[in-house]
A and B are shown apart, each in its own frame.
Chain A
Amino acid sequence: MANGAGLRRRRVGLIFAGLLAFGALGQVREPALAIGLGDAPIDATLPPIERAKALVALAANLVEQAGSGQTQASAFRIDVAYYRETLRDLVKDNDQVAEGERLSQPLLMDMVRMTALLQSAAQCQTGRYIVCPPDLMTQLRRQQGLLEQSPVSPGGAE
């Protein structure tokens, strides 16, 4: 009788361990990063204006992904980190180009704020997916609108 109960407990334990392993496998099998969500990586040799335009497009893509409720969290996080690091390179390179070709500081700061919002969105993980609260989505869309309206043009105010 006692052996039977022990056997049952072991079976339940094995089933539970199997379920845990299955869940862990699901995490491991998540697809690897698709940088730029399918687009080619942003060419670092392009002039700052072109890179800024590409980053604005990438941000729009990420905002759309954040609102879809079907984006895999790990891939989204890597894309946001990619956006942040590409922007960092852009900000550093922006100081090296001639004054007339520089991006404006307010535009760069708006892009930094977009990075901050995207990073907040990357924290909103439920299971494997990104599920953003409505107030964050509203702000992401508003910031995206701001970026799309701002002229990605040289000679911005310093």
Chain B
Amino acid sequence: MEAVLMTYALTLWAITVESAPWVVVSLVVGGLVHEFLPRSGVQRLVNRHGMAGMAGAVALGALLPICSCGVVPLAISLYRSGVRIGPVMAFTAATPIINPAAVVLALGLLGPELAIAYITLGLTLPFLLGMAAERWGQASALKQDAPIPTEAFGPATEGLGQRLIRGLRWGGLELGPMVGFYLAIGILLAAAVMVAVPEAWLEQYLGGDALVSLLVVGVLGAAIYVCAVAHIPLVATLLAAGAAPGAAVVFLLTGTATNLPELLALYKTIGRRVVVLYVGMLVTLSFLAGLAINAWLLPGFEPVFDPLGGLDALDRTAQIHPGGSGWLTLISALAMLLLALVGLWQRLRLRFARRDTKVDTGCPCCQQDKTAP
């Protein structure tokens, strides 16, 4: 029992410190996006109907090295700044799945065939997910979270400093506690799933090319926290141990694109229908891609054998993705914890306020006075 609790605590901590720096950066950038995007030309560019806007969102996401938890504040701020749901979801999927460091690492450690499959799917899946969200997810947008009209962002004559402060305040004090609260619940759940699932599950299911293996890898990958750059070496070692190439790609796609903290935060802020559509399509399309890759490369798939190429890729990855400072990580983790606690406190306060109001409604003569602000 003690060992399980220790593993749980370590997993919890690992997810928190890995995602916290990007969540904090994303909150800052998200605040600025919320303040400056609605009146800029960028919004018109991203909001273009059809392929161009979606392709722009995917390209932007593919360049940013943010994990699936870190992208949440940015996605919500884009959505609340008036960007359409399609490009927002395409961006949300593309950002964690693919980034320059992951591409270099995949080329060096997974071999050209799997790397090409990973890159192609990493770009096309978010595009398709965005198109689907645009087509069928729009109606699900939560009414209370509908995009705010441009006029609501204050007078355009305000100075830059005031706008910067207002953007950062929105990111830190309004978006931060809400996102922090949902991410914290999601991280608690994701760590529990990771501890509950037997250690050997990944090896067991990645090793099979059966339909069940692909499906299990897809669904479990969507629940647990996977970071592309950190997990490509892990997948490379499993491939060398005999994992099916299709299952490995499914794990990388669904694992990096989603996890419980991200899904919970998006579910509560953007809408249920979009999230269900997003996860359903992601798992289904990844599953089909896994089948196609297995049909293409099996039997007879051999992992890449180019040691120097692999070492060069590792060297380049270390340069592109150097990793954050330990103190910044620690401070970010504490900031995220603080935001989660503030979010919890806000919710509790709201709940008690509602309860008080309900109690007061029992006395119609006093209702108006008691519920008045």
Chain A residues close to B by CB (< 8 Å): 23, 27, 73, 81, 84, 87-88, 91-92, 105-106, 108-113, 115-117, 119-120, 122-129, 131-136, 138-139, 142-143, 146
Neighbouring A residues of B325 by C-beta, 8 Å: 27, 125
**0/1 interface trace, chain B 60-100, chain A, CB 8 Å (1 if under):** 00000000000000000000000000000000000000000
Q: Are A116 and B109 in contact (CB under 8 A)?
A: yes
- Closest B-chain residue to A124, C-beta based? B14
Give every chain B residue within 8 A of A133 (Cβ-Cβ).
10-11, 14-15, 18
Give the number of residue pairs across the A-B interface with Cβ within 8 Å. Answer: 119
Q: Known contacts A92-B308, A106-B305, A125-B324; is A134 also within 8 Å of B329 by CB? A: no
Q: Please state if A136 and B230 are interface contacts (CB–CB under 8 Å).
A: yes
Residues of A within 8 A of B17 (CB): 124, 126, 131
**A23→B327 contact, CB < 8 A:** yes
Chain A: minimal CB distance from B337 (Å): 13
**What secondary structure prevails in chain B residues at the interface with A?**
helix
B residues within 8 A CB of A113? 109, 233, 236-237, 240, 310
The CA-CA distance from A117 to B318 in the complex, in Å, is 12
Residues of A within 8 A of B105 (CB): 116
Interface residues of B in 215-266 (CB under 8 A from A): 229-234, 236-238, 240-241
Are A132's CB and B14's CB within 8 A?
Answer: yes
User: Shortest Cβ distance from B318 into chain A, in angstroms?
Assistant: 6
Which chain B residues border A109 with CB–CB below 8 Å? 240, 303-305, 307, 310
- Report B's interface with A, CB cutoff 8 A: 7, 10-11, 13-15, 17-18, 105, 109, 194-195, 199, 202, 229-234, 236-238, 240-241, 303-305, 307-308, 310-311, 314-315, 317-318, 321, 323-327, 329-330, 333
Q: Which of A91, A110, A135 has the most CB of B within 10 A?
A: A135
Q: Given A105-B305, A109-B305, A139-B237, does the pair A119, B314 have CB atoms closer than 8 Å?
A: yes
Partner of B310, one of A116, A132, A138: A116
Residues of chain A contacted by B310 (CB below 8 angstroms): 109, 112-113, 115-116
Given known contacts A133-B10, A135-B234, A119 and B308 CB-to-CB distance under 8 angstroms:
no
Give the distance in Å from the alpha carbon of A119 to the alpha carbon of B326 in the complex.
15
Q: How far is the CA of A112 from the CA of B237 in the complex (A)?
A: 10
**How far does the alpha carbon of A146 sit from the alpha carbon of B236 in the complex, in Å?**
14
Within 8 Å by CB of A126, from B7, B241, B308, B329, lies B329
Q: With A110-B240, A113-B109, A116-B236 known to touch, is A126 a contact of B13 (CB < 8 Å)? A: yes
Tell me which of A88, A120, A131, A132 contacts B311 (CB under 8 A). A88
Report chain A residues within 8 Å CB of B327. 23, 27, 127
Give the top 7 A-B pairs by smallest Cβ distance, nearest first. Answer: A133-B14, A116-B233, A125-B326, A112-B310, A123-B323, A108-B307, A91-B307
CB distance from A106 to the nearest CB of B (A): 7
Q: How far is the CA of A113 from the CA of B229 in the complex (A)?
A: 13
